[in-house]
Amino acid sequence: MYLGGMCFITDRKACKLSLEEMTLKVLSAGVKWIQYREKEISRREIYEESIRLRKITKEFNAVFIVNDHADIALAVDADGVHLGQDDLPLKEARKIMGSDRIIGISTHSLEQAMDAEEGGADYIGFGPVFHTITKDAGIPKGIDMLKEVKRQIHIPVVAIGGINLENIRSVLSSGADAVAVASAILKGDIEENVKRFIDIIG
């Protein structure tokens, strides 16, 4: 399962396009991993949007991860679910998802990262590395903490939070396995932004 390079996180507030339009643009530009994040609509609407995004991602043979909701992820045949610290416990999510689907966990400290690995997560998201406007994610953790997590964690580490074209090289040099990006792709020319990220990531 592809878990390297760049994960695009949907964000309906960062641009005027619909979720389908923004997803189609980033996939067309070369992104292979989509994470659907939505906090402000009903679970029924999240399910319906997930169905549509799963269809699009399948056409591009891209990984599709649903945020927060293991049951919805399973219902729409997503590749996996991404859980926050306040969501369903990893052990319970695994019962729902089974062993062959991806479970990622958001972590904000080395202790949380180690707990996630020990609990059987397939990858961790670690951050926010830098200040981010996308969500209220707390105090930036910085590159040094990211390096420390990489030293101690043996599953893929996805850096998240305020990552842009100016600072991505420092994130990659820390050893991060992938980066998760939302607004830095959606502000301006989406295709051009994606291509510049992919050129740097290689």
The catalytic site residues sit at 37, 106, 135
Query: DSSP H helical segments within the chain, as ranges?
Result: 19-28, 43-59, 70-75, 90-97, 110-118, 142-152, 168-173, 183-186, 190-201
Tell me whether strands 5-9 and 157-160 are parallel, antiparallel or unpaired.
unpaired
In single-letter form, the type of residue at position 39 comes to K
Backbone angles phi, psi at 33, to 5 degrees: -145, 120
Q: List Cβ neighbours of 37 (8 Å cut-off, separation of 6 or more).
A: 9, 10, 11, 67, 68, 82, 182
* Number of other CB atoms surrounding residue 171 within 10 Å: 24
Please, are residues 149 and 123 in contact by the beta-carbon 8 Å criterion? no
Spatial separation of the C-alpha atoms in residues 144 and 61, rounded to whole Å:
35
